Amino acid sequence: MEKLTMKERYDEFISRFGWPRIIIGMFLLFLFIVAPFVGVSVSTSLSDTINRFGMNCILVLAMVPMIHSGCGLNFGLPLGIIAGLLGATLSLQFEFVGASSFAMAIVFATPFALLFGWGYGKLLNKVKGGEMMIATYVGFSSVAFMCMMWLLLPYSNPTMVWGFEGKGLRTTISTEGYYLHILNDFLAIPIGDHFTFPTGMILFFALLAFLVWAFLHTKKGTAMTAVGSNPIFAKASGINIDKIRILSVMMSTWLGAIGILVYQQSFGFIQLYMGPFFMALPAVSAILIGGASVNKASIPNVIIGTFLFQGILTMTPSVMNSAIQTDMSEVIRIIVSNGMILYALTRKTEATR
Amino acid sequence: MKITKETFIKLFRNNLVTVMFVIICAFGIPLSGYSANYLIGEIIVRISRNSFLILSLLIPIMAGMGLNFGMTLGAMAGEIALIFVTDWSVVGIPAMVLACILSVPFSIILGTICGRILNKAKGREMVTSYIIGFFMNGVYQLFVLYAMGPIIPIKNKALVLPRGYGIRNTVNLIGIRRSLDDLIKVRISGVSVPVATFLVIAVACVFIVWFRKTKLGQDMRAVGQDLEVSSAAGIKVENTRVVSIVLSTVLAGFGMVLYLQNMGTLNTYNSHTQIGMFSIAAILVGGASVNKASIPNVFLGVILFHLMFIVSPMAGKNLIGQAQLGEYFRVFVSYGVITLSLVLYEMRKKREANDSAQLLETEQEGYNND
Amino acid sequence: MTRRTIVRISALVVILLLAFAMLRIGRQHSILLDDKTVTVQGQEYKALDMVEVKVDKQDSVELVKRDRDVAVVTGQSHKIKVTYTDAQWNEIELERKIKIPFDKEMIVFSVPAFIENPDDDTYYLMPFETTSVGN
């Protein structure tokens, strides 16, 4: 008959969710409540939020395997994104159109992602304990390296290269005529005038999320969790830690590559050069907002986190602008997202990994 | 003979980044086609502009807190001070002195916050300080873009955005532009040398050398060596670490004032963002590592790093016909250098841990055999 | 109070004094040199046909009737030298030290008023009002 009192339940709820998450959730709720009063359409906002959720959630999902194997937050996400960009540009180069261009982009991106992930994983195994900082800079240097490559690689599709020189890729390439909205429009359900549910994109995410979830429940997957949560125990039970870690990094990198392709098909543009540069930070803070920590993450964390983060990103500018004629959203975004990362990095329980 | 070869390899391995840079510069200089005089002149400007900022990195390294990516906080403090000084229309050397004094309280506040947070993230100071830099950039923007005007009075209309509050994207620092550089100017065979600036930098070097010998400096080195041991020896570890970050932030603030007096314009929202990265890349190029850095590293680093920086666009243009390529190249090299140094450091740390473990093992074996 | 605190407080005071001194020394002011007919304290001073004004060691400026020029100076104390020819064709040179109030960024220096009352700056130094622009 041990019934929890309200107070205890309340405390448990707070400790499980953590204050920052509650505050952010409340803030988002507040924005949605205020929105109609300042003349912002809720259905449009909700539609935008869900759309952006779909665009970003696979990039956030890409955090999960590496966190599980104890490699920390994947600040090296740009590496995966670059694999995706290579896939995208190659698919365009060979002039695949429609759905096949998207499929081929995935096909082309995969070997790069696996190769990059393998090398990246090897590197991270050499620097255990300092992964996050090095991951950040691996991401940065690979983006900078690819900047040179985009200029030099012999692409020739006229929609992609600079018109007057006939060589060197443009900074942004439209996916129109290739795979623009290929997932967004698949089985899309229009509800009302301003709300469209991008079924295909969400389904695609659900599929990948399910695969990751299923994988984490296989023998290999549990081994991966073991490596992350208790490396000494994992070693004792005969798991090859280094191999498992490399596998996790390869998975993360591949998910990053797929993530950017999904992002592009909805966004409409392939952003090259410095485009992927700061893409890791939003993804990292999204999963942290969702309740993940430096060494623990789950699929619900991804979903909740992406929704909250993208929700705030969509809602603050429109509500703020209508309410006080000032757009503070950029500043709020910077403070919230980096504040979340700091919060995660400084929590005592996680510092002992 | 074997020993010399081994030491040579070790020397090479420990200075891999520097050696690489020497090679890059050796190829880049002739390719760029710049004259020696031009290059020397440019390098002197860069040394006077950047070395004070880089010197600010030395103290946290001494205290075992790694490369202080949080030095951008000091840069922000310096910028805020300069905005005020410009608003009050103070000019010349007095303006610089005033800006330095004014930056100190900001630096102390920001540095204390940074140090406290880093104490909660022992073992991952670098990535944390890196994120703090981003986070504080948000706070800085809140301050400069929204608070300056309505809350903090800014009289000078030329500083304020047309909408009536917030500081413009660029602030013209005409009042202090090159005021220190031109105070004592000597021309040596066509190359002008800002003697006064170099004197200030020399004072900073002397300060750091002196600081190492003080009680506090000794404590910091002890903390950098081993947290537990120094804690047992009665050193207030947490406090010492905070002080080292505060000092670094204050120095970075001064460095930023010096940097901007040379530049002559302040990019309100951009000037500080790259400072940390370039300074850290430079000190690493100079042969420093995450746990060891000295004053010569600073100067060697500035020279090599900026030599690469100056020559690469031109070299890229002459080699491939695209200056853009050279610009991407130097960005790549800046990031690449930091990556490589961090990787080498972590690998060395691991190797040393292995070595000492082995040493311990063999010692114990010997003990058991006795 | 320990000796340490005393040292600290005095160091702080010294730094604050230094900051204050720097603020005063480095403060920039614009002196608007005016050669216009003005009425000060009920008395009218006629503009001069031609006058030469020199502030500190800067190049001297020549002003004709209804002219205005600006001299940018740092600090509060300055030497102003005015050279003009009176009705009898005598060249007259007047030199005085002026003190600009610290809080005024811009100040009008009226040459005609100065010539009549060179020893009382309440006559010839006046605050700059934006409304006077365009007159």
**Which of A59, A24, A68 lies closest to A302 in space, CA to CA?**
A59
Select the more confidently predicted residue: A35 or B117. Answer: B117
* Contact call for C23 and B98, based on CB within 8 A: yes
The span from the CA of A257 to the CA of A246, in Å, is: 16
- In chain B, domain spans: 36-295
Tokens at B81, concatenated: 């001070």
Q: Determine the residue among C23, C24, C70 to mutate to test chain B binding: the one whose Cβ has the most chain B Cβ atoms within 10 Å.
A: C23
Bridge partners, residue A219, by sequence = none
Task: Report the distance separating Cα A28 and Cα A25, nearest Å.
Answer: 5
pLDDT band at B3, cuts 50/70/90? low
pLDDT at A24 over 50: yes
| Mean pLDDT value across residues B274-290 | 88
Tell me the per-residue pLDDT of A188-244, one tens digit each, with 9 for 90 and over: 777 777 777 888 888 989 999 999 999 989 988 888 888 888 888 888 888 888 888
Domains and CATH numbers, chain A: 47-317+327-342 (1.10.3470)
Eight-class DSSP state of B300: H
CB C46 within 8 A of CB C87: no
Residue B261 banded pLDDT, cuts 50, 70, 90:
very high
Chain A residues touching residue B241 (CB < 8 angstroms): none
Query: Three-state DSSP class for C129?
Result: coil
Find out whether B263 and B45 touch, Cβ atoms under 8 Å. Answer: no
Q: SS3 of C64, please?
A: strand
List the single best residue of B82, B101, B215 to mutate versus C (max C Cβ within 10 A): B101
How high is the pLDDT of residue A251? 92
Cα gap A45→A65, rounded to integer Å: 31
Q: What percent of chain C is predicted at pLDDT more than 90?
A: 13
Spatial separation of the C-alpha atoms in residues A280 and A73, rounded to whole Å: 9
* pLDDT value of residue C135: 39
Residue C65, helix vs strand vs coil: coil
pLDDT at C50: 87
Q: Is the pLDDT of residue B235 over 60?
A: yes
Assigned token pair, A234 = 């994992």
Could you tell me where the beta strands, DSSP code E, fall in chain A?
Answer: 172-174, 189-191, 195-197, 269-271
List pLDDT tens digits, range C31-41.
Answer: 899 888 888 88
pLDDT band at C132 (very low <50, low <70, confident <90, very high): very low
The answer on pLDDT for A351 being more than 60 is no
Q: Would you say residue C134 has pLDDT above 80? A: no
CB A258 within 8 A of CB A84: yes
Residue type, B140: Y
Alpha-carbon gap, residue B6 to B317, rounded angstroms: 40
Question: What is the predicted pLDDT for the residue at A353?
Answer: 37
Query: Which chains does C contact via 3+ CB–CB distances below 8 A?
Result: B
The mean per-residue pLDDT over the stretch B199-206 comes to: 95
The answer to whether residue A15 scores a pLDDT higher than 80 is no
Q: Which residue in the block uniquely carries the two structure tokens 């490396």?
A: A231
Number of helices (H) and strands (E) in chain B: give both, helices first: 14, 4
Place of tokens 């997202």: A337
Q: Does C26 contact chain B (CB < 8 Å)?
A: yes
- Judging by DSSP bridges, how do beta strands B191-194 and B185-188 pair with one another? antiparallel
Q: Which has the closest alpha carbon to A239: A227, A225, A228, A251? A: A227
**CB atoms inside a 10 Å sphere around CB B367:** 8
End-to-end Cα spacing for chain C: 62
Residue B368 pLDDT > 70: no
| Partner-chain contact C23 B88, CB within 8 Å | yes
Nearest one of A155, A185, A161, A153 to A268, comparing CA atoms: A185
User: What integer is the mean pLDDT of B79-100?
Assistant: 92
Q: Quick one: pLDDT band at residue A1, thresholds 50, 70, 90?
A: very low
pLDDT at position A350: 42
User: In which element (H, E) is residue C91 found?
Assistant: strand C91-99
Q: Which amino acid is at B341?
A: S
Contact B94 C105 (CB under 8 A): no
Residue of B91, B101, B155 lying closest to C28 (CB–CB):
B91
Contacts of B324 in chain A (CB under 8 A): 151
Report DSSP letters for B172-199, one per residue.
E-TTTTTTTTTTSEEEETTEEEEHHHHH
Query: Average pLDDT over chain B, rounded to whole?
Result: 88
Sorting pLDDT into bands at 50, 70 and 90, what band is C130? low
The answer, yes or no, to whether residue B366 has pLDDT greater than 80, is no
Q: Name residue, tokens 């406090």.
A: B239
Reported as a pLDDT band with limits 50, 70 and 90, residue B365 is low
Question: Residue A28 pLDDT > 50, yes or no?
Answer: yes
On the question of pLDDT at B80 being above 70, the answer is yes
Q: ipTM of this model?
A: 0.85
Contact at CB, C28 and B102, closer than 8 angstroms? no
- What digits encode the pLDDT tens for the residues B113-137? 999 999 988 878 888 999 999 999 9
Chain B residues touching A342 at Cβ < 8 A: 117, 128, 131-132, 135
Interchain contact, A133 vs B320, CB within 8 Å? no
* Best-predicted range by mean pLDDT (B119-123, B161-165, B292-296): B292-296
